[in-house]
Amino acid sequence: MIEGKRILVVEDEFIVAAMLCDTLEDAGAVPLGPVGRVNEALEAVAAGGIDAVVLDWNLGGEPSLPVATALAERGVPFVIATGYGSVDAPFNDRPILGKPYVSGQLIAKLGAFFQG
């Protein structure tokens, strides 16, 4: 489903980010990052070579809206990770991944980007 896909992990909690990277690697993906700050994420997006992103909606108290905007402008699909259950417009139509993460849900949501 996501084998060989380059997935950027944008998460400010290192242990959570490491777990996400392990989960992606176990599913055959190539995890990129992790990055934990908005400016680092924007640099990674600008560098390109990303197939999809797991985007924590709150990075150290800073909203990830600029990162989501940059991804949308480049046509890079992303899953929004949040413990709040939803996000505001204009990204409230994007796939949401609740925290704490469930590995199967993560892989299914990412895999949906690459079907057909």
pLDDT digits over 31-69, tens only? 999 999 999 999 999 999 999 999 999 999 999 999 999
Question: Which of residues 29 and 84 earns the better pLDDT score?
Answer: 29
> How large is the average pLDDT for residues 67-80?
97
Domains, the chain, ordered by start:
6-102 (3.40.50.2300)
Give the confidence band of 99 by pLDDT, cuts at 50, 70, 90.
Answer: confident
CA 13 to chain CA mean position, Å: 13
- Per-residue burial over 53-91, b if 16 or more Cβ lie within 10 Å, else e, is bbbbbebeeeebeebbebbeeeebbbbbbbeeeebeeeb
Residue 116 binned pLDDT confidence (cut-offs 50, 70, 90): low
Q: What is the pLDDT of residue 86?
A: 79
pLDDT at residue 26 tops 90 = yes
pLDDT at 89 over 90: no
DSSP labels, 56-88:
ESEETTEE-HHHHHHHHHHT--EEEEESSS---
Look over the chain and give the mean of its residue pLDDT values, rounded to a whole number.
94
